[in-house]
Amino acid sequence: MAPVVTVRELRKSYGEVERLHGISFSVEAGQIFGFLGTNGAGKTTTIEILEGYRSRSSGEVTVLGVDPARADRAWRNRIGIVLQESELNPVYTVRETVTMFARYFDSPTPIGRTLDVVGLSANADERIGRLSGGQKRRVDVALGLVGDPDVLFLDEPTTGLDPAARREMWRMIDGLRTEGKTVFLTTHYMDEAARLSDRIVILRAGAIAAEGTPDELSRSLGRTSDISFALPPGTTRSEIETAVGTAATVESETVRLRTDSVQRVLARLLRWAEDARVELSSLQVTQPTLDDVFVQLAEPDDGARGADGAPPP
């Protein structure tokens, strides 16, 4: 099956300034594709080129086999769009709004079912102006879904939502998987991309910094782990370093050891604590998360990475 979205050497300049520097990627059918980047990385420029809103400077782009720059009505019937910033007229009810949008499409999803999918059945007859921020955002998604699109573009669907509303939105997006939709999701939240996406592309300053499944991206950091614990009273950093044989950092009374061989370092640490009769409180072993990957990739030019000055893995 051909990819739903293909992008090859896509470039976009605004005046003299090039914002996208020849990016290439593709999205397979049925995937939830996470397009991750900081604000200003070029996510919205890219997604709006894919949606047919913006022209490109060069490169090839197809969405459902069609160049979005030549979007026609048949193509628009197969695309669902949730814009990053867009308000709705507060005087209409949820049902009125979704019903009106359904009429724009050739074969819409029944209104009741669309409201079910986004979890707004109970609010169907409320005016939009009376909904919470999270509920309004779900109306946006309903308007993207009501045309029964093959691909849904979601531009930062959870930005500005409170944690509960975000989790609710995640559950909903996750549910789209079973509907067989291809979802193109942009976000600047790593946890969101990691939780929802089958595949992630990380965009940094208009270029692709990394791509892969969430697992692959975590592994790309290497198998380093962090061991941390509270600095036991009466001990020093150099004492610990000598005992475990690896560099340690101390920051606000917390000792951090970064190592490729957790088992060996941990064994030495415990033996030393036993011999020195000190208590290791708050002992933790942590794997790098996608957040670490993201922070590393998103701001690699920032010399002072990590306040503890840990060496790059």
Partner 1 sequence: MKDLRLTLSQTRYALLGFLRNPRAFVFTIILPLFLLIILNTIFHGLTKFIGAKTAAVYYTPAIVSYQILLAGFNSLNLSVVTDREAGMLKRFRGTPMPSWVYLASLIGRTIVVVVCAVAVLVVVGVVFYAVPISAAAVVGVVVYTLLGTVSMCALGLAATRASPNVDTASVIGIFPTLVLAFVSGVFVPLALVPGWLVDIGRVFPLEYLAAGLRTSFTAASSTGITAENVGVLVGWGLVGMAIAVRTFEWEPMGRG
Contact set with partner 1 (CB under 8 A): 51-53, 73, 76-77, 79, 81, 83, 85-89, 91-92, 96, 100-101, 103-106, 143, 147
Cα distances (angstroms) measured from residue 278 to each of 179, 199, 235, 281? 56, 45, 9, 9
CB proximity list for 219: less than 8 A, separation 6 or greater: none
Count CA atoms within 13 Å of residue 123 on its CB side: 22
Least Å distance, CB 84 to partner 1, is: 9
Q: What does DSSP assign to residue 107?
A: S
Least Å distance, CB 91 to partner 1, is: 4
Inter-residue contact 6 to 62 (CB < 8 Å): yes
Cα distances (angstroms) measured from residue 256 to each of 154, 227, 245, 284, 311? 39, 6, 13, 9, 12
Nearer to partner 1, 96 or 308 (CB): 96
Least Å distance, CB 143 to partner 1, is: 7
Nearer to partner 1, 143 or 193 (CB): 143
Nearer to partner 1, 45 or 218 (CB): 45
Q: Which residues pair with 251 in a beta bridge?
A: 254
Least Å distance, CB 100 to partner 1, is: 5
Nearer to partner 1, 124 or 221 (CB): 124
Nearer to partner 1, 149 or 232 (CB): 149
> 266: which 2 tokens?
């941990």
Least Å distance, CB 203 to partner 1, is: 19
Nearer to partner 1, 57 or 77 (CB): 77
Least Å distance, CB 300 to partner 1, is: 27
Q: How far apart are CA 150 and CA 110, in angstroms?
A: 16
Nearer to partner 1, 100 or 122 (CB): 100
Least Å distance, CB 214 to partner 1, is: 29
Q: How far apart are CA 178 and CA 157, in angstroms?
A: 19
Compute the radius of gyration of the chain from its Cα atoms. 24
Give the burial class of 180: count Cβ atoms within 10 A of its Cβ; 0-12 exposed, 13-18 middle, 19 or more buried: exposed
Q: How far apart are CA 147 and CA 117, in angstroms?
A: 13
Nearer to partner 1, 109 or 218 (CB): 109
Least Å distance, CB 111 to partner 1, is: 14
> 107: which 2 tokens?
């074969």
